[in-house]
């Protein structure tokens, strides 16, 4: 069981991620955008952060950039949810410090297998 | 794991329709000459979000369609495609198509595929207008896999040389994880070259200075290997070479088998060291956190937070609070009991309970309130489209979009408003040439305003068009027999004629406001919500329709009245005045219809006891009781009752839901003492009286 932060401005995607991870026994918190996520991430320590890229207030790439600068998240897996249509987004995310990405659309099983992978 | 995705469908649709609205509003707000970057981003984000959700939840048609839209939007965003009116039009058309697709998906219906395909073609045409190198993905990986499988015959496996760059671990990746994943593909030999490790005094624990060679002992598609390294391809030197039969054991590294046994402890060691330092860091951070001002933790941001709640839950809550209000007023009545006098603390508590109940009730009612923008938001598009269709320049000016009103009111007022706005554009605003000839600005204006006014919400639909042509209205009304040929009417009365059933001045029903729906339907809809509509017009200057609606449908102020042993409630909005008539005021018209003469006007009186069949031992004379004068949109009449009781806020319970529809009664409520009282339907009672008279006359 790991402590995971799920960040997405779309309530349906967020709920799907949260529900799936909780069903797998993880301790999940959620945030609607980067600003909220950063606050939550600073308030406690997560083993994994999964964030959407396109979000109002603060997008996922900026969130990852800022999280990487936090000493507590220097080595933490930070995954971004992205779509195939945006290869440059992947590069941008990597440059910001993302561990990797999960390509949308994905189903709960794919999500879980990736999470299992990064958590070791 | 079998997770049923359909449980998220409901919320997906809700948010997607919101995103469609956002798309549409954004497109309408775009200034083509100077597109605002933030608006374009918002539009793009809305489309992107729909696509992501639709793909995930299995609505492929929606996902595919939005994908094309997104591509076009992306081009616009990146400046590869210039924004012009045509593109906006195509995108707006696509918004409609998307809405149709979503609706079909939600209702499980069959989407209009032809429309979808046609729209998609238009999008693609717009895309190819400025098509640079596109559609490059998909091909490469498969090719790689093909060429790999072509070599399968002689190949025994893969040799992978993996040299992570320092930043690999700093982005949360772990070489050990990658090696484990490779080992899941096929049995593997792992060798670790630690020659690059610096001496201990220069050792940097967060750096990864090891080079691994992984030999996969089976042939797997190359793409699978690449897939494992996909996240880190730019953070490592990677070589993936096929191993052929006679090369398997003769690797260029010395003593592979020995190394492979060592490699794991080393790798694990690195990871351990890393995690140890990580822990130290965490520790540091935790101790640092104590000194951090606590203000950074709770949110001080102005993000509007909301949760979605099913309406039935809210209604159940409102109902519950309604019951609480009744219980509270029941307790309140106890305050007057003689044997409870002198218990000051009890009385204090009861007073407090009353205040708190009222506050709770208001708070709960607030939950059902939504800003009227939910209804107004459709109009910019509608006005734009209609204006184009009719060749009229029209500007829509909206104000008070944040005025809050009950959700049900919003749902039910939308159609009447659409009708009024259509009407203003179609009949109100003159053609541009006529406007210029009349010395008016070429561009016509339609105003949509909302504001609160003492317990009501007022919505106005105004235009600066030609105004109501009273001569024509009067002429038409006479032709239709709505007014006597010699009847004299005030201008206001003439204007009100347009609300009469079957009245329409337009010779040919136009495509727009026509559709056989007249102003009478608008008025009926408004009345069904407990509201009223009036019109003000000035010839040549314009027309304003004013709709007054109650803020909520669940609570109203009522006047309690008594007839015999029964208590009834008259909605306070309908009550004009109450009086004890003098004998001199009472007149009989046409035999036995009782009327009272009030300031020169004869007002018919209904005896409530008789019309509702309340048993009364004697028929009291009118001067022995009280007449409550009420007003409907049609007429004013008196209701004869035995006594007036107090006025109070009442929680409306539907009689239809709990019993059945009763003519003359609009609902029921529970009084403080637990008794049920019926709420009179002021419009319906008049109908009842007419029926009764009709029977008498026959």
Nearest to B11 among A11, A23, A94 (CB): A11
Q: In B, residues 220-249, which contact A (CB 8 Å cutoff)?
A: 230-232, 234-235
Closest CB from B56, B180, B284 relative to A16: B56
Query: One of B48, B419, B427, B445 is an active-site residue; which one?
Result: B48
- Nearest chain A residue to B207, by CA: A75
Q: How many CB pairs under 8 A join A and B?
A: 137
CB nearest A10 (choices: B53, B67, B232) = B53
In chain B, residues 156-175 whose CB comes closer than 8 Å to chain A = 169-174
Burial B177-201 (b: 16+ CB within 10 A, else e): bbbbebeebbebbbbbbeeeeeeee
B666 CB-contact burial (10 Å; exposed 0-12 / middle 13-18 / buried 19+): buried
Catalytic, B48? Answer: yes
Confidence of residue A80 (pLDDT cuts 50, 70, 90): very high
Residue B461 has pLDDT above 90, yes or no: yes
Mean pLDDT check: name the lowest of A56-60, B3-7, B238-242: B3-7
Mutate to test the interface with B, among A36, A64, A72 (most CBs of B within 10 A): A72
Q: Where are the alpha helices (DSSP H) in B157-251?
A: 166-170, 175-185, 222-229
Quick check: A37 pLDDT over 90?
Answer: yes
Q: How far apart are CA B236 and CA B210, in angstroms?
A: 11
In terms of average pLDDT, the best of B130-139, B463-472, B547-556, B613-622 is B463-472
Among chain A residues, CA nearest to B11: A12
Find the range with the poorest average confidence among A90-104, B404-418, B469-483, B554-568. B469-483
Query: How high is the pLDDT of residue B629?
Result: 92
Check: CB of residue A7 under 8 Å from CB of residue A29.
no
Residues B259 and B189: beta-carbon distance below 8 Å? no
Rounded average pLDDT over B217-242: 84
d(C-alpha B474, C-alpha B482), whole Å: 9
If you ran DSSP here, which 8-state letter would residue B325 be given?
Answer: H
B122 vs B295, more confident:
B122
- Contact (Cβ atoms closer than 8 angstroms) between residue B174 and residue A119: no
Closest-CA residue in chain B for A20?
B3
What are the C-alpha distances in Å from B441 to residues B34, B389, B392, B466?
A: 25, 20, 12, 13
**What residues of A are in contact with residue B279 (Cβ under 8 Å)?**
none
> Which residues does residue B664 pair with via DSSP β-bridges, in sequence order?
none
Q: A120 CA to chain B: closest CA distance, Å?
A: 6
- In sequence order, the 6+-apart residues with CB closer than 8 A to the CB of B345 are none
> Whole-model pTM?
0.47
Residues facing B445 on adjacent strands = B395
Q: Is residue B673 within 8 Å of residue B333, measured between CB atoms? A: yes
Question: d(Cα B581, Cα A30) in Å, to the nearest integer?
Answer: 69
A52 CA: distance to closest CA in chain B (Å): 10
| CB of A72 less than 8 A from some CB of B | yes
Question: Alpha carbon of B62 to those of B13, B158, B491: distances in Å?
Answer: 11, 41, 54
**Which of the 8 DSSP states describes residue B510?**
P
Read off the pLDDT of residues B180-229 as tens digits, 9 standing for 90 and up: 888 888 888 888 888 777 777 777 777 777 888 888 888 888 888 888 88
Q: Is the peptide bond before B519 cis (omega within 30 degrees of 0)?
A: no
**Chain B partners within 8 Å of A33 (Cβ):** 303
**Range B252-274 average pLDDT:** 41
pLDDT score of A23 more than 80: yes
Higher-pLDDT residue of B244 and B132 is B244
pLDDT of res. B154 = 63
pLDDT > 90 in chain A, percent: 48
Residue-level pLDDT at A7:
95
Contact B181 A91 (CB under 8 A): no
- Decide which of A40 and B470 is more confident: A40
Highest mean pLDDT among B28-37, B150-159, B234-243, B348-357: B348-357
What average pLDDT does range B437-445 have in this prediction?
A: 89
Nearest by CB to B170, which of A24, A52, A75?
A75
Beta strand residue intervals within chain A, DSSP E:
3-7, 27-31, 48-52, 78-83, 100-104
Give whole-number Cα distances, B177 to B168, B217, B559, in Å: 12, 19, 76
3-class SS letters over B338-372: HHHCCCHHHHHHHHHHHHHHHHHHHHHHHHCEEEC
Give the model's confidence band at A77: pLDDT under 50 very low, under 70 low, under 90 confident, else very high.
very high
Q: Residue B387: in which H helix or E strand, if any?
A: helix B379-390
Q: Would you state the pLDDT for residue B694?
A: 58
8 A C-beta contact, residue B285 and residue A44: no
Judge whether A34 and A62 are in contact, CB under 8 Å.
Answer: yes
Check whether B563 has a pLDDT greater than 80.
yes
Question: Cα–Cα distances in Å, from B520 out to B446, B523, B527, B570, B686?
Answer: 21, 5, 10, 25, 18
Local confidence band at B489 (pLDDT 50, 70, 90 cut-offs):
confident
A27 touches chain B (CB under 8 A): no
- The answer to whether A39 faces chain B, any CB pair under 8 Å, is yes
DSSP class of residue B152 equals T
Cα separations (Å) of B628 from B310, B576, B622, B637, B685? 41, 8, 12, 8, 13
The arithmetic mean of pLDDT across residues B652-670, rounded, is 81
Q: Do B536 and B458 touch, CB atoms closer than 8 A?
A: no
**Span B328-339, pLDDT tens digits:** 877 877 777 888
pLDDT category at B445 given cuts 50, 70, 90 is very high
Confidence of residue B698 (pLDDT cuts 50, 70, 90): very low
CB B512 within 8 A of CB B426: yes
Classify B520 as helix, strand or coil. helix
Q: Count CB atoms within 10 A of the CB of residue B155.
A: 16
Confidence of residue B49 (pLDDT cuts 50, 70, 90): confident
The CA radius of gyration of chain A, in Å to the nearest whole number, is 13
Query: Is B70 considered catalytic here?
Result: yes
Exposed / middle / buried, residue B7 (Cβ in 10 Å: 0-12, 13-18, 19+):
exposed
Strands B444-453 and B394-399: parallel
pLDDT above 80: residue B424:
yes
Q: What does the pLDDT look like over B70-128, one tens digit per residue?
A: 888 888 888 788 888 888 888 998 999 999 999 999 888 888 888 888 888 888 888 88
Contact B52 A105 (CB under 8 A): yes
Of A56, A100, A104, nearest to B52 by CB-CB distance is: A104
């Amino acid at each position: 069981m790991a402590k995971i932060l799920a960040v997405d401005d779309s309530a349906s995607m967020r709920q799907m991620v949260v529900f799936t991870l909780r069903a797998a026994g993880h301790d999940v918190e959620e945030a609607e955008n980067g600003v909220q996520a950063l606050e939550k991430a600073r308030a406690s320590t997560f083993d994994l952060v999964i964030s959407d890229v396109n979000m109002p207030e603060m997008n996922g790439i900026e969130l990852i950039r800022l999280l990487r600068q936090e000493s507590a998240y220097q080595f933490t897996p930070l995954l971004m949810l992205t779509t195939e249509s945006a290869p440059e987004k992947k590069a941008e995310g990597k440059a910001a410090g993302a561990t990797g990405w999960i390509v949308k659309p994905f189903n709960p099983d794919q999500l879980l297998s990736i999470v299992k992978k990064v958590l070791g | 794991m079998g997770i049923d995705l359909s449980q998220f469908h409901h919320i997906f649709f809700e948010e997607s329709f919101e995103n469609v609205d956002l798309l549409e509003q954004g497109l309408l707000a775009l200034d083509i000459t100077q597109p605002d970057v933030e608006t374009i981003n918002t539009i793009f984000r809305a489309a992107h979000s729909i696509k992501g959700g639709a793909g995930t939840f299995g609505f492929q048609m929606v996902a595919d369609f939005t994908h094309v839209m997104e591509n076009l939007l992306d081009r616009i965003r990146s400046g590869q495609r210039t924004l012009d009116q045509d593109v906006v039009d195509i995108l707006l058309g696509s918004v409609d198509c998307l809405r149709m697709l979503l609706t079909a998906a939600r209702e499980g219906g069959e989407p209009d595929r032809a429309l979808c395909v046609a729209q998609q073609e238009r999008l693609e045409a717009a895309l190819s207008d400025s098509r640079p190198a596109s559609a490059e993905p998909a091909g490469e990986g498969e090719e790689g896999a093909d060429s790999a499988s072509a070599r399968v015959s002689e190949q025994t496996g893969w040799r992978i040389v993996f040299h992570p760059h320092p930043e690999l671990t700093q982005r949360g990746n772990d070489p050990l994880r990658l090696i484990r994943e490779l080992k899941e593909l096929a049995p593997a030999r792992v060798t670790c070259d630690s020659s690059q490790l610096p001496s201990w005094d220069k050792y940097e624990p967060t750096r990864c200075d090891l080079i691994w060679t992984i030999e996969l002992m089976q042939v797997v598609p190359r793409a699978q290997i690449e897939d494992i390294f996909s996240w880190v391809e730019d953070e490592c030197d990677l070589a993936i070479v096929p191993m052929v039969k006679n090369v398997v054991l003769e690797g260029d590294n010395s003593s592979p088998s020995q190394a492979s046994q060592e490699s794991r402890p080393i790798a694990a060691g690195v990871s351990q060291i890393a995690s140890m330092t990580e822990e130290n860091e965490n520790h540091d951070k935790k101790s640092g956190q104590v000194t951090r001002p606590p203000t950074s933790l709770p949110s001080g941001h102005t993000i509007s937070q909301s949760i979605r709640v099913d309406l039935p839950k809210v209604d159940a809550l409102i109902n519950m609070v309604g019951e609480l209000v009744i219980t509270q007023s029941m307790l309140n009545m106890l305050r007057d009991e003689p044997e409870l006098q002198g218990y000051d603390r009890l009385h204090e508590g009861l007073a407090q309970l009353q205040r708190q109940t009222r506050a709770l009730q208001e708070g709960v009612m607030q939950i059902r309130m939504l800003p009227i923008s939910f209804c107004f938001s459709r109009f910019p598009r509608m006005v734009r489209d209609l204006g184009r269709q009719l060749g009229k320049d029209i500007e829509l000016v909206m104000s008070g979009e944040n005025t809050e009103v009950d959700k049900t009111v919003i749902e039910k007022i939308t159609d009447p408003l659409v009708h009024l706005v259509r009407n203003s554009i179609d009949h109100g605003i003159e053609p541009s040439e006529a406007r210029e000839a009349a010395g008016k600005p070429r561009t016509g204006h339609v105003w949509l305003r909302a504001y609160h006014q003492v317990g009501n919400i007022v919505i106005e639909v105004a235009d600066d068009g030609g105004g109501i042509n009273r001569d024509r209205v009067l002429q038409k009304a006479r032709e239709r027999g709505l007014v006597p040929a010699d009847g004299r009417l005030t201008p206001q009365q003439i204007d009100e004629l347009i609300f009469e059933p079957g009245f329409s001045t337009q010779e040919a029903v136009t495509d727009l406001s026509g559709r056989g729906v007249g102003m009478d339907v608008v008025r009926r809809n408004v009345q069904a919500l407990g509201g009223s509509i009036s019109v003000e017009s000035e010839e040549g200057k314009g027309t304003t329709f004013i709709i007054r609606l109650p803020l909520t449908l669940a609570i109203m102020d009522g006047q309690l009245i008594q007839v015999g042993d029964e208590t009834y409630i008259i909605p306070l909005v309908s009550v004009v005045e109450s009086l004890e008539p003098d004998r001199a005021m009472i007149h009989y018209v046409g035999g036995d219809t009782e009327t009272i003469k009030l300031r020169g006007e004869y007002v018919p009186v209904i005896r409530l006891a008789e019309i509702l069949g309340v048993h009364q031992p004697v028929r009291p004379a009118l001067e022995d009781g009280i007449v409550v004068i009420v007003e409907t949109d049609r007429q004013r009449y008196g209701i004869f009752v035995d006594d007036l009781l107090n006025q109070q806020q009442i929680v409306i319970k539907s009689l239809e839901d709990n019993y059945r529809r009763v003519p003359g009664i609009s609902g029921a409520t529970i009084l403080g003492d637990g008794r049920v009282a019926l709420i009179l339907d002021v419009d319906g009672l008049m109908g009842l009286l007419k029926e009764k008279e009709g029977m008498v006359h026959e």
